[in-house]
Structure 1
């Protein structure tokens, strides 16, 4: 059965650029649909070795509303191609580009700090005030204070900003984050390093003129040991000011073990928690089941197996009944698996193994 052109155009909008190119050659009808503006609303462009953007499609890049850029960092030419694609998507776009996500693949060159990409992005987004979503979680290098301040100044319409990338250290201080909040008055979703937070940042987030804060993603790593810990009272006040706020916490393996309990404050409305420390997490699991019973929906653990851990996980399953996903990357007992399946009615996916498997472990879907 033939699908209407508008439906095919919507489907084609989710294809990566190369697949769009392939679809163009199938038949005349498809070639017309591929060049339709709605086919370019959501587009992924991969700038990897040996790839380029055909001239025919370069002219259509200003039609993109949400752009995902995947680039290989190993070759300078790939980075230049990615910036060229972004420049074309912004230029002559009449404010069309609304969402931008950048993801880097391949091995990062030795001593590469990403300065060319950061400066290039700032130069391009000078006229990119239409952006409402900027996702930089996929870049591996440290984002600088000056870069983040420039982005905030040039993109005041941002609703969602993710700068909690997997660099080795946090490069954004609290004053830069305060300046970002001042420039981007409508921000409701924020992904940052927890080391960038401070009591003053929290006070800014609680100002009566700010919109409701919906989501806060926090990456916790070694930089936290150089900051003043956030007390539970400030979290309680933030939760009262933004009652619909939910938090995602990622505790990296570089976070010193003695700082973990200080991060897990009981008043944080934690919906997703990743304890990726590879340390013994008995006390932490106990804190989780005592503090986040009413909010926790996703839990991921990388820890050390033990009978004591099995007991704590069984107790957690019986208390955190809102869990939808649980992933534990160490061997557990069959009793643990049974406890989660029987106690958590919303559970739809889990990674719980009674025996070691080859990496990567596959998850089990229930729904």
Structure 2
């Protein structure tokens, strides 16, 4: 209450006021800054804004293309961009692009304005330690490859995009202690030449690198990766993880790799084939050098034949997410995963959005998902949608893994019941699975666990996976 009176507020030293305000959330800090000039001065003290997490654009709050958020973004970046140490920025999904071309153009203009605002404010920040950018522009892609048709219409000659690319390279060249660099689906912000601008001090301090853009040229070259001798976590597209890159990471004069996240888009395999990716011998050499290495793989619309090529026996797979709109994952793939990765697998996600719910099991008594739960002793997350899961198999899974299965999400429409089952089948299922897990369970899909947008889920899962090293 003392701070509410002018005498009390003036009597307290600024250092104490700053310490008190450090317990507020970012949103509450901004609200409190409107109380008086003294509070505003204290609330904009750099020590209170070492970390900034922003989600803008896309019109998710009913604001069309998201342009109404630009002034607020400009204010925040003008205040904190020059000294913030950790910045995480997500651009919200774009809606209604296909049905309204003008909306797409407006959204693209807003996107360029906001990216220029953020990067322009960071260009001289030498204290930046973490930069994470996610631009949900997959709706502007055609068959898995970035579609620049809207971009060329609003940025004729590519002048603004070139300015953005130059600003990004300036940030890298001016950085002195960058530890985390991540850019996912940022629509051409990163080029194959961007990493060459990274300053020598940051090449020694960088521990995590993630550059994914669904572009044809690889954004991470083996030559540039060679400079990052202390890299512990890496995220890139699967087809860009070549034999040469894998052999480089297996060298003994580098820091061991702890986390590797790989994204495979089946729609892009025609132009980015699997030929040249790391072989079984390459993986063996990498695992010998990095004994604590764990791998996260997400595939989107990849056929089972290609999946069998990807799933090498020596990959220390901890998490796998098989996502598709129409492509079917066969029981053989699930069987292979449960056999090869029974010592390391902890997360298994199987999603399919097409009509129909195919049954993975040859017969209801030999379900590959039950075998997966039985073999994989560290399984903690199991999420299924779009495939038939028989109720008695779901009960078996819950009993096999018990309370160690922290997340069991199965959509209600994916569950099928035995025709000769007596009583209320749904009630009996909920009761039996709850007993098996040791907690209350219901058949539903929690969108906070698996998002509707797979690329966004990959980005967030990769963040938590890499931060866990």
| TM-score when normalising by structure 1 | 0.82
Distance 1:198 1:55 in 2: 43
- Verify the 8 A CA contact 1:324 1:347 in the aligned structure 2: yes
Kindly tell me: are residues 364 and 171 of structure 1, through their superposed partners in 2, closer, same or farther at Cα, counting changes over 3 Å? closer
SS of 1:163's partner is strand
- Verify the 8 A CA contact 2:179 2:208 in the aligned structure 1: yes
CA positional deviation for 1:40: 0.8
Match of 2:135 in 1: 104
Match of 1:352 in 2: 410
Mapping for residues 37-116 of structure 1, pairs under 5 Å = 37-45=46-54, 46=56, 48-50=66-68, 51-52=70-71, 53=73, 58-71=78-91, 74-91=107-124, 93=125, 95-105=126-136, 108=140, 110-112=149-151, 115-116=161-162
Match of 1:283 in 2: 332
Distance 1:266 1:30 in 2: 59
Query: Unaligned stretches of 5+ in structure 2?
Result: 4-15, 58-65, 93-105, 141-147, 153-157, 416-443, 450-469
The question of 1:159 aligning with 2:207 is answered: yes
Mapping for residues 236-255 of structure 1, pairs under 5 Å = 236-253=284-301, 255=302
CA positional deviation for 1:27: 6.7
Query: Unaligned stretches of 5+ in structure 1?
Result: none
Find the partner of 2:169 among 87, 97, 122. 122
Distance 1:307 1:250 in 2: 20
CA positional deviation for 1:152: 7.8
CA positional deviation for 1:193: 1.2
The structure whose residues are more often helix, as a share, is 2
CA-to-aligned-CA distance 1:313-366 (integer Å, 9 cap, x gap): 111111112111111122422233323322224221222134259xx932699x
Kindly tell me: are residues 256 and 334 of structure 1, through their superposed partners in 2, closer, same or farther at Cα, counting changes over 3 Å? closer
The question of 1:6 aligning with 2:55 is answered: no
Match of 1:216 in 2: 260
CA positional deviation for 1:123: 3.4
Distance 1:307 1:225 in 2: 27
Distance 1:178 1:148 in 2: 11
| TM-score when normalising by structure 2 | 0.66
The question of 1:340 aligning with 2:397 is answered: yes
Find the partner of 1:320 among 376, 383, 392. 376
Kindly tell me: are residues 299 and 226 of structure 1, through their superposed partners in 2, closer, same or farther at Cα, counting changes over 3 Å? closer
State the aligned residue count.
Answer: 352
Distance 2:74 2:235 in 1: 34
CA positional deviation for 1:184: 1.7
Match of 1:361 in 2: 445
Find the partner of 1:308 among 357, 361, 365. 361
Distance 1:7 1:227 in 2: 58
SS of 1:336's partner is helix
CA positional deviation for 1:236: 1.7
Bigger Rg, structure 1 or 2: 2
SS of 2:244's partner is helix
Kindly tell me: are residues 30 and 343 of structure 1, through their superposed partners in 2, closer, same or farther at Cα, counting changes over 3 Å? farther
